[in-house]
Amino acid sequence: MTDILLDLIYCFAASLFFALIMNTPKNTLMHTSIVASIGYLIYLSCSAQLNTTLGFFAGTTFVAMMGEIFARRFKMPATIFIFPAIIPIVPGLGLYETMLAFVQNDILSALEIGADTIFNIVSMAIAMALVSAAAIKMKSGKMN
Amino acid sequence: MNIVCFNDIILFRRKEVIPLEVSANNLLKVIKLAAQIILENGGETYRAEETIKFIGRAFNIKEIESIATPTGFYITVSSDGNENNTLVKRIRKRTIDLHKINDVNQVSRQLSEHSITLDEALEKLQEIYERKESGIRYNVLYAGLSSAFFALLFGGHVLEFFTALITGIIVSMVSRRFENLQSYQFFSSIFSGLIIACIAVFVTFFSKMVNYNSIIVGCMMPLLPGLAMTNAIRDTIRGDLISGIARATEALLVASSLAAGTGVTIYMAYTMGLF
């Protein structure tokens, strides 16, 4: 339990500083960071209980949905909210482990981890595309 | 002297002919600057196209058509249906600055509500375009802190935290130098990867108690092409296939050059038997 709490705090801080690098508008910083840590929590719990790929899917869906909702509310582009919040979920570890396995001449496990990482990235893409398509459908010609 | 006067009269007449209080030239200037800021600071291409169409519609322009890609855009404006004004703009430098995108969005909103005039909008956009990043020193520190907290998230402890902090600061300073080079992001990513892996391997070699995996992953996370990936998807599902492919290529290029830089260093460390 304390591990998860600590992870959430780390995730919050990491995405806060990441948002600051990307010069996010100041009044949205807290929102993006909180969405990022909740999205990461969903990703963690889903991948621990059910399936890793499903975890990526669920976390991304949450982040993208909150991004669209905040975009309506603040009348700002949705990218401002989605981009800093999605960063903790991006499978950087999988990418790194794939490369590490290649370097260690362990081609089989490299391919295995690599295929897994690609599936995770694709599931994130599908989640983002679904939410985005739903948002376009609901927006009906208005620009955010 | 006469010629100048004559010119003035012609300009005056042309203004009268157009059934608006704005000249097509001025409008084109505003639209160009808005689209340019959006594309140079990491906005989606459909946002640039939509902003162009939005502003044009607000001023009762008869025909306005635009094609935007991450590397440039073309606009054609025809205020009366007979005379066409076309503009081509190449986008060379691309960075990420979400604040500028938001500000341009607000200006286009205000323009469409007619709460500001075209000249005020041009002034505002010029100010946004020329605005420098506030506090590069702080940005470098933020990059370090972000890397450090990612290192903690991926199983690091106190020593990894401080190593990642310093590595993040160095990488951010070095990649800022490489931004001016013509090679788009390639050298910057590959050298970032090299520096990250070098520092992580050396610290591990000398202290024996540091987990280099968490340092490397933590420092790689802020450099991963998250925005390119997000925009690639958002562009593709809108039907902007060329932009989608271009963004996906960008994401692939950055990720693979980052992995190549890190991988080569770790491979050398392995073959030299450092661990």
Whether the full predicted model's pTM is greater than 0.90, yes or no, is no
Mean pLDDT of all residues in B124-148: 84
Percent of chain B with pLDDT over 90: 7
Mean pLDDT of all residues in B235-255: 86
Please give the pLDDT value at position B183: 62
Residue A144 lies in a domain: no
Nearest-neighbour CA in chain B from A100: distance (Å): 7
Chain B residues with CB inside 8 Å of A90's CB?
A: 221, 224, 226, 229
- State which residues form the domain around A131: 2-139
Alpha carbon distance, N-terminus to C-terminus of chain A: 39
CB contact under 8 A, A21 and B50: no
Mutate to test the interface with B, among A6, A60, A137, A143 (most CBs of B within 10 A): A143
Chain A residues with CB inside 8 Å of B143's CB?
A: 17, 21
| Three-state SS at B87 | strand
* B182 pLDDT above the threshold of 80: no
* B204 pLDDT above the threshold of 90: no
Residue A31 lies in a domain: yes
* A58 pLDDT above the threshold of 90: yes
- Which residue has better confidence, B135 or B62? B62
Please give the pLDDT value at position A55: 92
Name the least confident of A102-106, A124-128, B12-16.
Answer: B12-16
Residue A94 lies in a domain: yes
Q: CA-nearest residue of chain A to B96?
A: A22
Mean pLDDT of all residues in B86-106: 87
Please give the pLDDT value at position A125: 86
Nearest-neighbour CA in chain B from A24: distance (Å): 5
- Which residue has better confidence, B183 or A15? A15
* A50 pLDDT above the threshold of 60: yes
CB contact under 8 A, B220 and A95: yes
- Give the Cα separation of B232 and B246 in Å (integer): 8
Please give the pLDDT value at position B180: 64
Which among A18, A76, A103 has the least Cβ separation from residue B263? A103
Number of domains in chain A: 1
Chain B residues with CB inside 8 Å of A27's CB?
A: none
* B107 pLDDT above the threshold of 80: yes
Arithmetic mean of pLDDT over chain B: 82
pLDDT category, A35, cuts 50, 70, 90?
Answer: very high
Mutate to test the interface with B, among A6, A16, A44, A83 (most CBs of B within 10 A): A83
CB contact under 8 A, B263 and A95: no
Domain ranges in chain B?
2-130, 136-271
Please give the pLDDT value at position A38: 93
* B253 pLDDT above the threshold of 50: yes
* A56 pLDDT above the threshold of 80: yes
Residue A22 token pair: 């990307």
* A63 pLDDT above the threshold of 90: yes
Q: CA-nearest residue of chain B to A103?
A: B267
* B66 pLDDT above the threshold of 70: yes
Residue A119 lies in a domain: yes
CB contact under 8 A, A87 and B221: yes
Percent of chain A with pLDDT over 70: 97
Round the CA-based radius of gyration of chain A to a whole number and report it. Answer: 16
Residue A96 lies in a domain: yes
- Give the Cα separation of A92 and B149 in Å (integer): 14
* A112 pLDDT above the threshold of 90: yes
CB contact under 8 A, B99 and A24: yes
Please give the pLDDT value at position A39: 92
Please give the pLDDT value at position B226: 79
Residue A13 lies in a domain: yes
CB contact under 8 A, A79 and B143: no
Mean pLDDT of all residues in A101-119: 89
Q: CA-nearest residue of chain A to B220?
A: A92
Residue A76 lies in a domain: yes
How crowded is residue B125: how many other Cβ atoms within 10 Å of its Cβ?
A: 24
The CA-CA-CA angle for residues A23, A26, A30, to 5°, reads 105
Q: For residue A131, what are the CA distances in angstroms to A62, A63, B233?
A: 9, 10, 11
- Contact B212/A at CB under 8 A: no
Please give the pLDDT value at position B9: 43
Q: For chains A and B, count residue pairs whose Cβ atoms are closer than 8 Å.
A: 138
The residue count for chain B: 275
CB contact under 8 A, A82 and B230: yes
CB contact under 8 A, B233 and A132: yes
Mean pLDDT of all residues in B202-218: 85
Please give the pLDDT value at position A108: 93
A79 with B41: CB under 8 angstroms?
no
B146 with A18: CB under 8 angstroms?
yes
Please give the pLDDT value at position B7: 42
Mean pLDDT of all residues in B143-172: 89
The string of pLDDT tens digits covering residues B11-54 is: 444 443 334 456 777 888 888 999 999 998 888 888 888 888 88
Please give the pLDDT value at position A59: 93
Mean pLDDT of all residues in A102-116: 89
Residue A37 lies in a domain: yes
In the stretch 56-95 of chain B, residues with CB closer than 8 A to chain A read none
Please give the pLDDT value at position B13: 42
Residue A110 token pair: 């490299």
Mean pLDDT of all residues in B221-233: 83
Chain A residues with CB inside 8 Å of B42's CB?
A: 79
